[in-house]
Structure 1
Amino acid sequence: MAPKRSATASGAMPKRQRKMLTIAEKVNVLDMLKKGSSYAAVGRHYGLNESTVRYIKKEEKNIRSTAAVSFNQGAKRVVSGRNKVVVHMESALGLWIEDCQKKNIPLVTNIIREKAKQLHDRFADALDNTQPGTSVESPGRKSEFTASKGWFEKFKKRFNLASMSLHGEAASADKAAAEKYVADTFKVIIEEGRYWPEQVFNMDETALFWKRMPSRTFITKEEAKAPGFKAHKDRITLVVCGNAAGFMIKPGLIYKSKNPWALRNKNKNLLPVYWMHNPKACITKPLTLDWFHQCFIPEVKIYLAEKGLEFKVLLLLDNAVGHPLDLSYQGVKIEFLPPNTTSLIQPMDQGIIRTFKALYTRNTLQHMVEAMDTDDDISLKEHWQKYMITSCMVNVQKALNDMEKETVHACWKKLWPEVVHDYKGFSAEETRHSAVDKAVRLAKLLGGEGFDDMTCDDINELLEAHSETLSDEDLAEMTKSANEEDEQEDPAQEEDAGVTLEHLTTILQVAKDLQTLVEEWDPQMIRSLQFRNALDSAMEVYKNLHTQMKKQCQQLPVTMFLTRKTLSNMPSVEEETPGDNGGATQLPEEDPLEEL
């Protein structure tokens, strides 16, 4: 019997290296297939066998469910067949660890394991309340979960936390490292790169409970008693970014739902924020990559082109878990600030974020006052129920617009003092105090329990609440499925909704009627003429759109405006006789465009 040929014999193909994709990469594979790419094309793109791509497609449900709850999208294992309470607990625990690291809260192994047992007990009790028939000895009961050392090691690997730093003392701000970085490292980077203030940017993210009122108000008290989801726990993450010249780019907004009901029929590419989403409404590495390439790069290119400067950018980031180390783009230098120096030298943390939140709170109360003045029949509680994520986005944009350029510029003084020598205007602290005072005055106009006796301390307490450590209740809400809102839009509604020619005609007619009413009722003709001219200027964009859409309709074939019944009754070419109009089809005399 001939000996078996060795695998290393001449002419033998080398064994193919096994390749494991991360959860995020598998989701991208599924997205490519969903867009119509073939199995072979996707395999070539990722260097996979076609059979592997087909297997990923077969496991789509498990992969997407894992991606929805996974703390770290870099994990490579799919969660399948595990206890739901443990999966929910681990997702919340990972989020809590990330929040603690962001806020420099010390963590040790025993603290994490104790938190795991605490969260597991809470979620197990919640499951028992929804399923009264659950047996005490059923799998997943809190008495069976001990958060052992073996579980903790597997948890670290499962969520890619193997290199997580555990320490017993609080991570205090490192003044020596901050001073050394400013005097040496940063100064050398600026000199070698020859950067202008317009080319140096800093990005940071912050949590915002966008529908929270001070705790003493009757609105918050009523929500606390209401069962189910509480609006004041609804959290978004804002990505703010500005440069040393005081310019702020369009903010990124991360929400828990991809398609909330309030954004139906809205073009998400034309919102006042850069829209992103994940079930926990928090920053992740894939979302940071998305923001960097789809928002930061285009916005900065336009800005520098308008300033007549070359596309040469320095982007400063902190060492947050959600910031990937592999950000790259030609012309952009990424620089990470030293650990534990954020509170000392990061510009966005030198008053910009806190001032923004004060301005947002003021604008929210202003929004409520204006709504109550406009409609006397609506109560404050009814109005607050109608305060949607769209209203939040408007107030976010207004708060950033209200932030003076000089205020943002001055917040770079600790990191780059050479460019902030001629500061003029309100400081971030003065702007914040002014916004808080205005918020108190607006609250008194609203009236009611907790509003008519509101103080500056109440507003400051509300601002502090945005930065507090996440409670168990917060974690439970953030790890819930985003299905509480209507994520899936009705395709039939989407086709018919939007700004149609008919809608534009109505808008223009309403504006014309409003001008007529003002001219008839206002005894001051000069004032009414000023209003007419201002409204004409504001409506110009819709007038141009109306004209453009009318031209498009007139260029379409007339048969598009005929009904199917009319077309079916028209004689075909074979049935026509050459006697009438040389065989040409006789169309109706009415002009179908007149109906538009």
Structure 2
Amino acid sequence: MVTGPMMKEKAPYFAKDLDVGDFKASNGWLQSFLWRHNISFGVMSGENGEVKPHVVDEWNGKLPDMCKDYDPKDIFNMDESGLFYRSTVSKSFHVKGETYSGGKLSKERLTVSFCSSMTGEKEPIVVIGKSANPRCFQKVPASSLPVHYYHNKKAWMTGSIFEDWLKKFDRKMTRQGCRVLMFLDNAPSHPKLSLKNVTLQFLPLNTTSKSQPMDQGIIQAVKLKYRRRQLQHIFANMTRHNLLSGSELLKQISVLDVIYWVNRAWDQVETDTIVKCFAAAEFLKPGPVALQPEQPDADDEDDDEDYEEDDVPLQVIRLSMDLFGVGFADAGRD
């Protein structure tokens, strides 16, 4: 498969070989190159029910009353998502009109769960794998990891895992003297529990794409940042080990690599992104919050170009363009 970041990563090497000076593999260059050569971006061959607008509107009308007794910093959303951690994307650039296919995509999957407040306070992420003690954990005990690590045969969120994590969260809020309202979707793995300092509020069925803050761009932002690190790792090692292909290097990515990469990606999601995603889900808009500056990434570059898509934070759109060479809505999703 061929993606935008792959082309931008390799273009300077070709420019150097061709003695092309002052070359910059920008998004503008990429778009012009694709247009000149008639190249498009598409899915290689190889959750949501229908959203009812009136249900969403009715829910949005009830939100202010649900939230009125809670400070914005005490209103949380939690959701999990699958991460096919040894795959890149399911889309590739190809010449228009030609059929194409890629190699077999890796199905190795982890479940990653994210939780934050509507003012941007982030809880440590939950990672669910298949093995209790992966080989890569030999020198790093699970208790020292920066995430909550769980396991089961299918690497899925289960009711017991959710209950264990939620009770830990409730004890933490109790110690801090916080009374919290937690919004969740109606997944079978999210049982209804009675807790001391955390009240659960479940979203209506088939509305998460509109009503769940995590689905308005927060999880996608984490995945895009993770993919950036994954691709940087592949290219760096392809340079060092010329005999190894990208697919061979993907197979060498360990669960421990993923944990550190996705944790770093979560750390880099800005407060502003989270606040805007809660607002996009029609939650009460909090007062001014102190925005956390994004931690710099040595490989990040500022682009002069502006990319606009409705209801999606600009940071997410720019990252999607940089990583995939396409807008947020067209970027590959797990």
Structure 2 length normalisation: TM-score? Answer: 0.69
Instruction: State the alpha-carbon separation in 1 of the partners of residues 329 and 72 from structure 2.
Output: 34
The one-letter code matched in structure 2 to 1:189 is M
Once the two structures are superposed, the pairs formed by residues 401-550 of structure 1 within 5 Å of their partners are 401-413=267-279, 414-419=281-286, 428-440=312-324, 455-456=325-326, 460=330, 462-463=332-333, 466=334
How many Å separate the matches in 2 of 1:214 and 1:316? 30
Determine the C-alpha separation between the residues in 2 that align with 1:291 and 1:254: 12
Q: Please state how far the C-alpha of 1:245 moved relative to its aligned partner.
A: 0.4
Note closer, same or farther for the CA distance 1:181–1:204 as it changes in structure 2 (3 Å cut): same
DSSP 3-state at the match of 2:80: strand
Identify the residue that residue 74 of structure 2 maps to in structure 1. 199
Q: How does 1:351-430 map to 2 (within 5 A)?
A: 351-372=217-238, 375=240, 379-381=244-246, 382-413=248-279, 414-419=281-286, 428-430=312-314
Residue 457 and residue 344 in structure 1: after superposition, are their counterparts in 2 closer, same or farther (change >3 A)?
Answer: closer
User: Does the 8 Å CA contact 1:175/1:344 hold for their aligned counterparts?
Assistant: no
CA contact (8 A) 1:258 1:276 kept: yes
1:240 and 2:110 aligned? no
* Helix, strand or coil at the partner of 1:419: coil
- Alpha-carbon displacement from aligned partner over 1:295-353 (angstroms, at most 9, x marks no partner): x3355567xx4xxxx3211111111111112x222121111122222122111111112
Partner of 2:185: 318
Residue of 206, 209, 217 corresponding to 2:84: 209
1:334 maps to a residue whose letter is: L
Structure 2 equivalent of residue 341 of structure 1: 207
Contact 1:410 1:423 in 2 (8 A): no
Q: Which has the higher strand share?
A: 2
Distance 1:208 1:384 in 2: 14
Distance 2:162 2:71 in 1: 25
User: Is 1:214–1:459's contact at 8 Å kept on the other side of the alignment?
Assistant: no
Runs of 4+ in structure 1 over 6 Å off:
420-427
| C-alpha deviation, 1:432, in angstroms | 2.7
Structure 2 match to 1:267: 141
2:56 aligns with one of 178, 185, 189: 178
State the SS of the aligned residue for 1:379. coil
- 1:332 aligns with one of 176, 179, 198: 198
- Contact kept, 8 Å, 2:126 with 2:150, in 1: the verdict is yes
CA distance in 1 between counterparts of 2:202 and 2:251 reads 42
Q: Which residue of 1 aligns with 2:9?
A: none
1:458 is displaced (CA, Å) by 12
Structure 2 residue matching 1:418: 3-state secondary structure: coil
**Any conservation in 2 of the 1:362–1:436 contact (CA below 8 Å)?**
no
Structure 2: distance between partners of 1:399 and 1:410: 18
Alpha-carbon spacing, 1:271–1:405, altered in 2? closer, same or farther (3 Å): same
Larger Rg over CA atoms: 1
Counterparts of 1:332 and 1:431 in 2: how far apart (Å)? Answer: 31
- Distance in 2 between residues matched to 1:183 and 1:423, nearest whole Å: 28
From the superposition, tell whether residues 214 and 338 of structure 1 become closer, same or farther in structure 2 (CA, over 3 Å).
closer
CA distance in 2, matches of 1:300, 1:180: 30
Question: Hey, what's the Cα distance between the residues in 2 that align with 1:320 and 1:262?
Answer: 31
User: In 2, Cα distance between the equivalents of 1:457 and 1:347?
Assistant: 20
Letter in 2 for 1:462: G
What does residue range 135-174 of structure 1 map to in structure 2 within 5 Å?
A: 171-174=49-52
Equivalent position amino acid for 2:320 in 1: V
Deviations 1:476-528 (A, max 9, x none): xxxxxxxxxxxxxxxxxxxxxxxxxxxxxxxxxxxxxxxxxxxxxxxxxxxxx
SS of structure 1 residue aligned to 2:278: coil
CA contact (8 A) 2:178 2:197 kept: yes
- AA matched with 2:124: K
Is residue 317–residue 327 contact of structure 2 (8 Å, CA) maintained in 1?
no
Q: Give CA deviations for 1:183-228 in whole Å, capped at 9, x if unaligned.
A: 23x322322x3x11111111111111111023559xx955x3xxxx
Q: Please report the RMSD computed on the Cα atoms of aligned residues, expressed in angstroms.
A: 3.1
| CA deviation after TM superposition for structure 1 residue 285, in Å | 0.8
Q: Which amino acid aligns with 1:179?
A: D
Q: CA deviation at 1:253?
A: 0.9
Structure 2, unpaired ranges of 5+: 1-46, 94-100, 294-307
Report deviation, 1:272: 2.1
Alignment of 1:541-580 (within 5 A): none
Change (3 A) 1:459 1:407: closer
Do residues 297 (structure 1) and 170 (structure 2) align?
yes
Q: Distance in 2 between matches of 1:331 and 1:181?
A: 24
Identity of aligned residues (%): 27
2:112–2:128 CA contact under 8 A, matched in 1: yes
Contact 1:249 1:299 in 2 (8 A): no
Counterpart CA distance in 2 for 1:278 and 1:360 is 23
Which one-letter code corresponds to 1:351 in the other structure?
A: G
Q: Does the 8 Å contact 2:150/2:161 carry over to 1?
A: yes
Give the equivalent residue in structure 2 for 1:189. Answer: 66
> What amino acid maps onto 1:297 in structure 2?
D
Specify the SS of the correspondent of 2:332.
Answer: helix
Equivalent pair of 1:352/1:408 in contact (CA under 8 Å): yes
> What are the equivalent positions in structure 2 for 1:39-54 lying under 5 Å apart?
none
Structure 1 residues 436, 329: closer, same or farther in 2, change over 3 A?
same
Q: Which structure 1 residue ranges, 5 or more long, are not aligned?
A: 1-102, 105-170, 225-229, 441-454, 467-596
SS in 1 for 2:128: strand
Q: What's the CA shift for 1:410?
A: 0.9
Q: CA deviation at 1:459?
A: 11
The structure, 1 or 2, with the larger RCO (C-alpha pairs under 8 Å, 6+ apart) is 2
Change (3 A) 1:423 1:331: closer
User: Residue type matched to 1:398 in 2?
Assistant: R
Shift of 1:438: 2.9
- The correspondence of residues 84-99 of structure 1 with structure 2, limited to 5 A, is none
